[in-house]
Amino acid sequence: MASENASMDKGKGWRRSSEQPTLQEVYRTMKVPKTGSWFRKFLAFAGPGYLVAVGYMDPGNWATDLAGGSAFGYTLLSVILLSNLMAILLQALAGKLGIVTGRDLAQACRDHYSRPVAMGLWFLCELAIAACDLAEVIGAAIALNLLFGIPLLYGVMITVFDVMLILFLQNKGFRYIEAFVIALIATIGVCFGVEMYLSQPGVGEILGGFVPSAEIVKNPEMLYIAIGILGATVMPHNLYLHSSIVQTRQFEQTSKGKREAIRFATLDSTIALFFALFINAAILILSAAAFHKSGITNVAEIGDAYQLLTPVLGTTIGSILFGVALLASGQNSTLTGTLAGQIVMEGFLNIRLQPWLRRLITRLIAIIPAVIVTAIYGESGTAKLLILSQVILSLQLSFAVVPLVQFTSDKLKMGEFANPLWVKVLAWFVAVVIMGLNAYLLYRTFFG
């Protein structure tokens, strides 16, 4: 079936027939009922969106949300909402690309661009995945340190062993990975739900925070953190991930089947990303209610927030739940980072490595700098490394967004599924905004 579709694609906007699918061991392994209720079909498609949503609530997001809440109260909630809406659009396009063309974004780039350009995009994407993995390593190590007193250096090294968990879940089947991810997202949600109850934020202030304010643009410090929130929210590797894992479903390879798959996949990722919106907003709201209201306006490090929550909230449960949520977030991001790394390598280079070897390589790329910096500079060094990882992600984001919008707007490649004019205009607007804001963020980081 895959080879038949590939030959049909050749000459329709693509230079070659598509290669073997990435994540071949789970490609089209999950059945979709041809009859039955709408809800039953939706459940068959539900899952990939939650793997994608994980990248929008990883430890790299926490520092910017904490800084924004403690410094400026609820004002930057509107930025989190805007970032999430951008993410919903981009992930919908990524899912559509995979469903319609049978290619993930990495394969599409390899097919469309010249080899030097494709190799450059591959290198930047690998750098972004390593940076994201770095954030997960540091986040998990900080959580182990806060909860159990394990030194950061040892915590960083312990994270190597999560390879075993991933291999175990992969052998069980893709549904097990999805179920595990959803369970950890639920854990994070429960932790922050309790935190919100303990901190007693003002409902009116929260609703007011979701309304955009001109002050965000006028205040340079607020704008800097706002762009940091955007850079930490929209993750480039998630676009590659989503375009591949939507192909785990056995939807019909007809116009009607693809249209149905696009509709359910978009609904799945949209619902999942609203969970991510809740988590990110909850972190900022907690920081605003617990710290900003108490006059503590300079909380930018995860460790500081953990230590301050107990005296501010008047109970140790606040700090414990914060640490548990951080550990769950780091572990969750590890799973999706593994899959994204495999997809990018297979898609761009057409190289198939054993999953455990691919994971180990990615993990070592992240752990080596983390170990060196932790050993030399301690906790302050890991905090700066966490910020650097977000800057690298911001740098790479444009190089994933532009090809995605370009391909899904191309009628030759997408046929009847090409973006309509209004989606095309909106998508290019989002791409330009992301490029402009990230350029400003990089300028401020290195020269501001």
47-70 pLDDT per residue, tens: 999 999 988 887 777 878 888 899
- Residue 114 vs residues 97, 110, 111, 118, 351: alpha-carbon distances, Å: 20, 8, 8, 6, 18
Is residue 355 included in any domain, yes or no?
Answer: yes
CB 84 within 8 A of CB 56: yes
Is residue 426 included in any domain, yes or no?
Answer: yes
pLDDT at 232: 67
Note the helical H segments in 200-315: 203-209, 215-218, 220-233, 236-245, 255-290, 302-313
124-180 pLDDT per residue, tens: 888 887 777 777 777 888 888 888 988 888 887 787 776 667 667 767 778 888 998
Is residue 417 included in any domain, yes or no?
Answer: yes
Closest CA to 51 of 367, 343, 321: 343
Which distant-in-sequence residues (6+ apart) come within 8 Å of 90 by Cβ?
234, 239, 401, 404, 427, 430
CB 334 within 8 A of CB 328: no
pTM of the model: 0.89
CB 275 within 8 A of CB 186: no
Closest CA to 381 of 134, 200, 87: 134
Instruction: Annotate 176-196 with b (16+ C-beta within 10 A) or e (fewer).
Output: ebbebbbebbebbbebbeebb
Q: For the residues 245-262, what does the mean pLDDT come to?
A: 94
CB atoms within 10 A of CB 147: 17
DSSP lists the bridge partners of residue 30 as 249
pLDDT at 355: 66
pLDDT at 6: 44
Can you point out the beta strands (E) in 9-158? none
Is residue 128 included in any domain, yes or no?
Answer: yes
Tell me the average pLDDT of the chain.
Answer: 84
Is residue 216 included in any domain, yes or no?
Answer: yes
pLDDT at 390: 67
pLDDT at 23: 79
392-412 pLDDT per residue, tens: 777 778 889 999 999 999 999
Is the pLDDT score of 7 beyond 60? no
How does residue 107 score in pLDDT terms, banded at 50, 70 and 90? very high
How does residue 18 score in pLDDT terms, banded at 50, 70 and 90? low
Is residue 5 included in any domain, yes or no?
Answer: no
Determine phi and psi for 14, rounding to 5 degrees.
-115, 145
Is residue 20 included in any domain, yes or no?
Answer: no
Is the pLDDT score of 388 beyond 60? yes
Q: How far apart are CA 380 and CA 115, in angstroms?
A: 41
Q: For the residues 361-383, what does the mean pLDDT come to?
A: 69
**How many domains does the chain contain in total?**
1
CATH number, residue 315? 1.20.1740.10
71-96 pLDDT per residue, tens: 999 999 999 999 999 999 999 999 99
Helix (H, G, I), strand (E, B) or coil at 249: strand
Is the pLDDT score of 2 beyond 70? no
208-226 pLDDT per residue, tens: 999 998 888 888 888 878 8
Is residue 16 included in any domain, yes or no?
Answer: no
CB 418 within 8 A of CB 411: yes
pLDDT at 380: 65
How does residue 207 score in pLDDT terms, banded at 50, 70 and 90? very high
- Residue 133 vs residues 23, 29, 206, 327, 374: alpha-carbon distances, Å: 19, 28, 32, 14, 16
Q: Which domain holds residue 338?
A: 34-447
